[in-house]
Amino acid sequence: MGRTIVVTAGKGGVGKTTITANLGASLSKLGRKVVLVDMDIGLRNLDVVMGLENRIVYNIMDIAEGRCKINQALVRDKRQSGLFLLPASQVHTKEDVDIDSIVSIISAIENSFDYVLLDSPAGIEKGFESAVAPSKEGLVVVTPDVSSVRDADRVIGLLENRGILGLSLVVNRYDVDLVNRKKMLNADSIVEILGLDLVGIVPEDKAVIDSTNRGEILVNYYANTIAARAFENVARRIEGENVPFVSLNSQNKGFMKFFRRGK
């Protein structure tokens, strides 16, 4: 049975969708069979980030409401044959979702994939609940600012209450310059506050937006950028590999402290 992981944050716009797509593509490059589920019902985005918006026929609400079979709704990635998208509906709202039927759809899918990644919407309301209910593990995304860290803390508490104890942390949009000028929190203090297993630090990188605008996943398109390598390292750490954190800046020795703790 596959691992079902919710990618979540509490705060909006911190990179949940970007990370879902890039982590999915990286896991698929490592030979895993992966499905990405867009749980942002009514505000779908993952299809655009993957450049698959024109290939969507059915979506998860069509499955939930009996209009199609699961296989009919899955869209295969343009480049990775082991990567699939299960799109969200754009014409429904999060209130229309019956969480129990989402849970049963995901548990049916789990059997045929190594990874099911659920891209959670912003907030902690019903959309968050629908993404969390089927999940067994969670990847929490933060940006290096106080409000993002506080929202993440709240979300981690809610995930723990729901019995989701396998939780990891990704720090996204990390800007070493701003951290050095103390305009951003450094990774050490974020980990100290949240107390989660850090599986990645992804730098701020213009290539992310550039590839998204081209309808390409960064790790598929600009695989040599620093952000792409950081995404691939997240995948390898989630796979259990002990990938050391390379210093983004030689001045900042703090990075060398982070190694993935064994599960």
Ligand X SMILES: Nc1ncnc2c1ncn2[C@@H]1O[C@H](COP(=O)(O)OP(=O)(O)OP(=O)(O)O)[C@@H](O)[C@H]1O
Query: Residues in the site for Mg ion, rule: CB under 5 A?
Result: 16-17, 45
What are the residues facing 82 on neighbouring strands?
none
Dihedral over Cα of 213, 215, 216, 218: its sign: positive
Helix (H, G, I), strand (E, B) or coil at 196: coil
Of the residues 53, 96, 153, 204, which one makes contact with another protein according to CB under 8 A: 153
Residue 195 engages another protein in binding (rule: CB under 8 A)? yes
Question: For the sheet containing 3-8, what is the strand order?
Answer: 75-76, 83-86, 34-38, 115-119, 3-8, 137-142, 166-174, 197-203
Residues 171-190 that bind ligand X (CB under 6 A): 172-173
Binding segment for ligand X (CB under 6 A), chosen from 78-86, 125-133, 157-165, 208-216, is 208-216
The contact pattern for another protein, residues 165-194, with x = CB under 8 A and - = no contact, is ----------------------------x-
Please state whether 163 falls in left (phi above 0), alpha (psi between -120 and 50) or beta: left
Asked whether position 156 contacts another protein by CB under 8 A, the answer is yes
From the CB of 237, what's the least distance to ligand X, in Å?
17
Would you call 199 helix, strand, or coil by DSSP?
A: strand
Task: Give the binding site for another protein (CB under 8 A).
Answer: 99-100, 103, 126, 129-130, 132-133, 150-151, 153-154, 156-158, 160-163, 193, 195
